[in-house]
Amino acid sequence: MNKILLSIAVFCFLGVNAQKAIDTQFSLNGDWKFYAIEGQGSNSLQVKEEPTDIIVDNADADFVEIKGKWNLKKVGTKGATFYKADFLQRVFRVGDTGDNYVRFRPKISKKGNYEAFVRFPFETNLTTQFTVQHADGEVATYANQRSCGDQWISLGIYTFNASKDNFVEISAIDEGGVSADAVLFRPISDAVFSNAKNLPNQVYLPQFNDSKWNRLKVPGHWGMLNNFSNYVGKGWYRKTFNFPANWKINPNEQVRLQFEAVYHVAKVYLNGKFVGEHQGGFSPFELDITDKVLAGKPNVLAVEVDNNFLVGATWNWGGIIREVAIVKNKAVRITQQYIHAEPNLKTGTALLKLRLRVENNSGVTQNIQINSAILDIKKVAEMTGNLAVLAHSIQEINLETTLKPEDVKLWHFDLPNLYQIQTTIRENKQQLDNQTNTFGIRKIEINDSQLFLNGEPIRLGGFNRVSEHRFWGSSEPQELLEQDMKLMKEAGSNFMRIMHGTQNERLIDLCDKMGILLFEEVNVRELSNPEFNAPIFDPYPKEWIKAMVNRDINHPSIIGWSVGNELKNHFDYGRKMMEYVKTELDPYRLVTCVSNSGQKDSATPETDPNTFADIIMHNMYQWQGKPQEILEIIRKKWPNKPIFISEYGFDPFQTPSLDEDKEILSDWHDTFRNKNPFVIGTSLWTFNDYRSGYAGTSDEENRVWGVINSWRQKRRLFDRVKKELSPVKDIQVEGIDFDKKEAQVIVPIRGLADYPIFSLKGYTLVWIFKDANGLIISKNEMILPTIHPQDGLWKGTIQWTNLKTNPMSLTVNLENSIGINRFEKTLSFQVPNPPAIKEIITGNQSVRVLFDKVAGATEYQISYLNSANHLVKTPKTIADYIDVPQLVNNQSVSLTLTAFNDKGESKPSIKVIATPNGIALPPLVYDAFIADQKLVIGYATTKDELKYKVRYGATEKLLNKNFVTNVKGMLSIDLKAEKVICFQIKSVLKTGESNWSNVIKAKK
């Protein structure tokens, strides 16, 4: 059946899953030029008060007008800091009008140009409105007061006239707490004012001189540049490129510019002409540049990027964060290929349904022939058809075929079998276009209490992964995605509501290949967001949902879509958007709207869109009550729907330390074990620490919730979660007989009512002997049969050949089909070798002990006699350093280091004398490496630190270059072609400078 789609203008972005062999494509990734125009944004770290500034504090009664009831506060919400002695606060309610405001008026005597800055402490309102009334009119902007608290934030550059009423007004358009603290008016020179007004109309012109602009990598973000680490506002990108010499623009061809994502608003210019605009920082888009691109001449591409739109607690990484390419194809092209595979679990066959969309940009009807081949290792099926595509239209054709049982390999998170579909369209034997997509065959079903994968009831665990890294931000290179996928699978992840926002498709490709079930979610977290058009929520939410579904619809890892997260007053929105997905985009997958309010009295089947969701996804936190009580309330309201705990967490860690753990996680999991069978899975908040401006964020601007930190180092919590999410309870090794060279292995399996539960398919048991140096002296493996939850127990015998030396340990691993370790048990036969203290860094009443880890050890501890001659032992650590506090300056202590494993503790190290010198310890360096011609250093920070100094060079003894910055948590230094750099770092405090760190070697 053919279906005509009447729209002529079309959004199309195929994504990385779709390969277009016939199209000619070249990448615009790599080095671009970057610049920010004064008045279009600000970096709060660079805004320092100056003598000429005009600052109006909320206490300046002659210059502050208060309308409505505002409270004077002297204590900030959640311990937030503020400008001086107090601030004004008001809780806006539904129905409050704009007549409730605070206006700050500048103390000026004559007309002048000023940059206006606002400062406020943390509050709960997400859409605080700042209105600037100036000589030329009125401008309104919005901000999320949960982020960027107690910082000077630019509202722009304006002319203020003393004879007119000039002010900055603070109000709100939605409910929640709003704070009003202070406003700064900074005099601006005529030259700066001229640039602010004129440059936005010049920087996109081809003749503009960008030679002094910054070099910035794409994909990337401007926070990679120290001067823009905390920049919020508009930034400009430029790139000069040549149209490929072998490309010719024929009358029947189009050239398009494709962006995988630009955060958040992009305006695109080519050769001085406006091409188009896109809003939505995680959504792909494309623009037709056929009549604007130049063949045989340099082309200048300019992009204005705006990251002002900030929602939630995550960071607004501004920039061109994903790939950019130019694609040339014929007037007739494939715009979407959707393959739905429906297995028949009784017969073993699989019905394949293909929906193909074809766009005809020519002025005549095109009669095309379609051929689609299904490939495993070889071609296993074929579909053909014919389609007449009217001029300037998009039309669909639906084709079907059935795979025979011998050609069907089901996709499963432990056996992620994948197929390809290769489709070619021709007219009169001339190939017009082709497209290849990867897909899988699997069956997802639900009832009122269970989730089934390929007919098997499953209960699974996973994470919310915040899509960022402290250096790469949201641009996430392939190696980072692969590293995270391996870590998530190792930690037990099989099912995730992965996070808010359309994901990097390369991550979803990895979920297809490595086996993780996903709910992908659109970046809608606050319906009062000014860019949304309530109550119809068009175009952006619908546009973003459509772009997400259309791009990712073939991925077998994705089993459902979420249309939003933790929304308020969202009954109509949730109902409309879930219906839109089901009826117009994807009739086969599950759909939901993630909630954190279903337990409230106000949430009922008549008022909450949980009623329309296929499964209830609930974000559950301690403030809501006890887990059992929350589940009982939600289940009573919606007894016919399974529940997935899409977030659960226990507040951030107290410190960024790798030794942090959450024992309460095991207690919460007991809520799901052998009870509440309608809970089909959970997704922990979070997998990784993430950057944030929220109150309660660490000094280095990271939210420390993760099982790994921002630099991908495991916390103690990692091993706890790995055990909690394993399908087995333990691996027991008994009867080790070195004469017979064998031992018995017993594996208790989680039963049908446990959590998590699923059958072990394609698993392998691996056992490894290591010597005292950690070297493998024997490795063997055994392929296991399929083990079901109802089996209860697996027993077997492991054997080995002669061991060349006495083993230090035996490790037995349970690995899935792609080699991911899902449970491990290590038995040590001897304690570790004594470790050695490598270096001592002195501090103020403290020292830092650095050491190399030794084979077979899992923990380390420092011992010493204090000034009272009492033996002191530090807490055990899994890190490779120990800070020893509470010492006496200039008084020496004798330190020893001990290593531990399951057998016991090692002999102590050789004693080392340490003497605190009264100077602060240097920043702890988490990670250091060379990437994109930059030395990248990740380090700990404290509130007392003002700046950071780095001395660096080619060798440890030649640190002949210096660098200074005030950036928190991560800095980068431009390099040339160096592959190895040595450096030290110290901090500058109000009381002086810290000691230097040890010399650290960073490599490319």
Q: What is the pLDDT of residues 597-613, one digit of tens each?
A: 999 999 999 999 999 99
CATH number for the domain formed by residue range(s) 444-725: 3.20.20.80
Average pLDDT rounded to a whole number, residues 123-134: 92
DSSP H helical segments within 254-367, as ranges?
A: none
* The domain defined by 925-1002 carries CATH number 2.60.40.10: yes
Fold of 25-36+197-326: Jelly Rolls (2.60.120)
pLDDT on residue 807: 96
Q: How far is C-alpha 617 from the chain's CA centre? A: 20
CATH number for the domain formed by residue range(s) 836-914: 2.60.40.10
pLDDT tier for residue 536 given thresholds of 50, 70 and 90: low
pLDDT on residue 580: 96
Homologous superfamily of 732-828 in CATH?
Immunoglobulins (2.60.40.10)
pLDDT tier for residue 58 given thresholds of 50, 70 and 90: very high
Q: Please list, in sequence order, all residues whose beta carbon lies within 8 angstroms of the beta carbon of residue 947, skipping any fewer than 6 positions away.
A: 964, 965, 966, 987, 988
Catalogue the long-range contacts made by 750-754 (C-beta closer than 8 Å, 24 or more residues apart): 750/726, 750/789, 751/674, 751/789, 751/790, 751/792, 752/457, 752/789, 752/790, 753/673, 753/674, 753/675, 753/677, 754/459, 754/673, 754/674, 754/789
Share of the chain above pLDDT 90, in %: 88
| Contact between residue 761 and residue 817 where contact means Cβ atoms under 8 Å apart | yes
Buried/exposed 732-769: b ≥16 CB within 10 Å, e otherwise: ebeeeeeeeeebebebebbeeebbbbbbbbebebbbbb
332-440: CATH class? mainly beta
pLDDT at 647 over 90: yes
Considering the chain, tell me which residue range(s) the CATH 2.60.120.260 domain(s) occupy: 25-36+197-326, 40-189
Report the alpha-carbon distance of residue 704 to residue 587 in Å, rounded: 39
Considering the chain, tell me which residue range(s) the CATH 2.60.40.10 domain(s) occupy: 332-440, 732-828, 836-914, 925-1002
Average pLDDT rounded to a whole number, residues 352-357: 98
Question: In degrees rounded to 5, what are phi and psi of residue 716?
Answer: -55, -35
Average pLDDT rounded to a whole number, residues 288-315: 90
Q: Which two tokens stand for residue 979?
A: 């592959």
Q: What is the pLDDT of residues 784-819, one digit of tens each?
A: 999 999 999 999 999 999 998 999 999 999 999 999
pLDDT at 709 over 80: yes
pTM of the prediction? 0.94
Report the alpha-carbon distance of residue 723 to residue 693 in Å, rounded: 33
CATH number for the domain formed by residue range(s) 40-189: 2.60.120.260
pLDDT on residue 812: 98
pLDDT tier for residue 54 given thresholds of 50, 70 and 90: very high
